[in-house]
Every structure is written in structure tokens, then in C-alpha cells.
Amino acid sequence: MTSRREFLVLLATSTAAIATGKAMQTSPTDVDLSKYKWSMVVQVDKCTECINKMLEKQGIKFDKLPLDKQNELLRNIRPPCVKACDLANNVPRMPNNPRFDCYMIRIIAAKATEDASWRFFPLMCQECEHPACVEVCPTKASYKRPDGIVVIDLHRCIGCRYCMVACPFNARTFTFMDPLEHLEKINPEVPIRKDGVPMKCEFCRWLIDMERSEGVKNPKPVCVQVCPYNALVFGNLKDPNSEVSKIVRTSKVVRLRAGLGTDPKVFYHDL
């Protein structure tokens, strides 16, 4: 039979244990992350210059190409940002198999009128503030971190592809087959996906988390780091002194499909 004293000691110990456990649960990382709102500005002028130079080198006149050739070219073009992203994030590329080819960044060409010149820019996950993919995910495998990055928990994902259907930007791709067979190199810092799950740009969260923990003030995803034209600007929207904040505050920037209300955090300048 437990005495009253023993019972009280047990109660106090349990309470203390629960309180300690709770205190340990609140990781400082979570608190830190809410200070950030990672965002990107794409300077379309510079991207266009980069792609135009690449096409010029190959003697290709994009405007003169028929539609199917334009599509094929854009599917396979790999400027430094795309190349670096593919390698750093273990993206299984299958240029000869467009049905199953995975990507995190795609190059899009756009123009306002038939006689205007083409503008080129990268399209990646727009890291929406109100992401449709998170809303529809049946297992909460897609979720938004406190710093605004939308991520996929591969241990929870069932591979239903509802997120892909709901995404307004086709920013997600699906591993229709084992990705390992299609990787040029493996980055051990990034989880290697299995077949049957979606993938998307997560602003190289593995890298920015690592750099942030090492005290780097302005961590950057690989695409931003390798861009030879400094066309991609990355930073914290919650910091009024960050370059991203300044551009968004002072320049005319647009967001893709803004009318849907998903509130993307990728801004396009000079589109």
C-alpha cells in the first residue's frame, strides 16, 4: 500500500519530470526560426541576360524556334542555378524521359505580346504564405516552418500527389522511379528520396539552417550562391535592412498568380 508521503513524492517527481520534458521540448531553434521570413527576389532582367547569352553561344534564336522546340529547349536548359540546384539537392534528372524528369527549378520564358522579346526567369516553389499544398495534405507531411519555408516530411508522406495537383505553379515533381539511378552525384547532407514521393525546392533549408547555426548572417541557397549575374536575391523579409526587404519595399515587383491569394514569397522584378 502506498503511503500518503510516498504518493506525494511520486506526484512531485512526476510533475517535475513532465515540466522538465516540456521545457526541453521547446527547442530554441523553433523560437529562432520565427524571426525569419525567408524570401527571394528574381531580377528578371539579369536572368534574361544570362539565358540569352547561353542561347547566343549555341547559336539558337529562341524566337525563331517552333513551339515544340521551344518547349524542349526550356525543359533541358541548365543555367548555373539549375545545375547547382540539381547537384546539391539530389535531383534525379531524366532529360531523355520528360514524363518522369524531376526538377526543383524550371526556366520559364514569357512575353506580354507577340512582338515583344522573351523574358526568361526561374520558377521554383514560391513558398506561399497560404500554401495550397499544405492545406490539402492528408497527413500534414507538407507543412510550413515558422520561417515560412514549406517542407515535405518524407517519413509522413503517403505519395497521394494531392499537393502536386493543388499547387498553382506545378512546382512539385514526383519520383516515379528509384531516384538513385538518375543521380550524377550524391550530396549526403540532403536526404535521398525513395520512389513514390514528391519533391520541391525548399530554399536549400539544409544549407541555410547549417549556415545559420554556424553564425552566417546572410545564409543563401545554392542557386543564389552560384548565380553569375547576381540575379537572385535571398534574405529575411522580417529584417527591414535586408536586401530583399529593400527591393520589395522600393521596387515594382510582382508575384505569380497573386490573384489566387496564396501569397507567394518569391517576387519577380522587372517581369
Partner 1 sequence: MIEFKKIDGRSNGYWLVCGIFLALTIWGFYAWYLALVYGHCVMGLSQRVPWGFGTAAICYTIGASAGSLIVSALSGVFGKEEFKIFSRSACVFALGTIVAAMLSIMQDIGNVENAMNVLLHYNPTSVFSWNSFLYSSYFVIGFVYLMAQFGEKRRITKALAVLAVAWAVLVHSGTGGIVGFVYSTDLYHSSLTIPMFIVSAIVSGLGLLIPMWILTFKWTNRPLDRNLMWYLSKVMGALTILLLYCFAAEALDTAYVPGNSGAIHMALFNFRYPYAWVFWVIQVGGCLLTILILLTPWGKTDWGMGIAGFIVAIAVYGERYTLITPGLGYPKDLVPGMIFRPFWIVPYYPSWVEYAEIIGLMSMACLVYCIGLKIFQILPERGEVEEA
Binding site for partner 1 (CB under 8 A): 67-68, 70-71, 74-75, 98-102, 106, 108-114, 118, 123, 132, 134-141, 155-162, 164-170, 173-178, 194-197, 256-257, 259-260, 271
Shortest CB 21 distance to partner 1, Å:
21
State the Cα–Cα distance between residues 271 and 265, nearest whole angstrom.
16
Is residue 175 within 8 A of residue 193, CB to CB? The reply is yes
- Whole-number minimum distance, CB 67 to partner 1, in Å? 7
Task: Please say which residue, 161 or 246, places its beta carbon nearer to partner 1.
Answer: 161
Task: Give the Cα separation of 265 and 231 in Å (integer).
Answer: 16
User: Smaller CB distance to partner 1: residue 134 or 208?
Assistant: 134
Q: Is 182 helix (H, G, I), strand (E, B) or coil?
A: helix
| CB of residue 170 to partner 1, shortest distance in Å | 6
Instruction: Select from 181, 166, 74, 163 the least CA-distant residue to 123.
Output: 74
**Going by C-beta distance under 8 Å and a sequence separation of 6 or more, which residues neighbour residue 77?**
51, 54, 107
**Could you tell me the smallest distance in angstroms from the CB atom of residue 164 to partner 1?**
5
| DSSP assignment string, 45-56 | HHHHHHHHHHHH
CB atoms within 10 A of CB 77: 18
CB of 223 to partner 1, least distance (A): 18
CB-wise, 124 or 247, nearer to partner 1?
Answer: 124
Q: Which is nearer to partner 1, 45 or 195 (CB)?
A: 195
Q: What's the closest the beta carbon of residue 127 comes to partner 1, in angstroms?
A: 16
Distance CA 40, CA 13 (A): 49
Answer for the pair 236, 228: CB distance below 8 angstroms, yes or no: no
Distance CA 39, CA 242 (A): 10
CB 84, min distance to partner 1, A:
21
The smaller minimum CB distance to partner 1, of residues 54 and 164, is found at 164
Closest CA to 269 of 66, 63, 121, 100: 121
Q: 118 or 229: whose CB is closer to partner 1?
A: 118
d(CA 219, CA 206): 11
Q: In the complex with partner 1, which residue's Cβ is closer, 14 or 71?
A: 71
Q: Residues 8, 2: contact at Cβ < 8 Å? A: no
Cα 133 from Cα 172, distance rounded (Å): 9
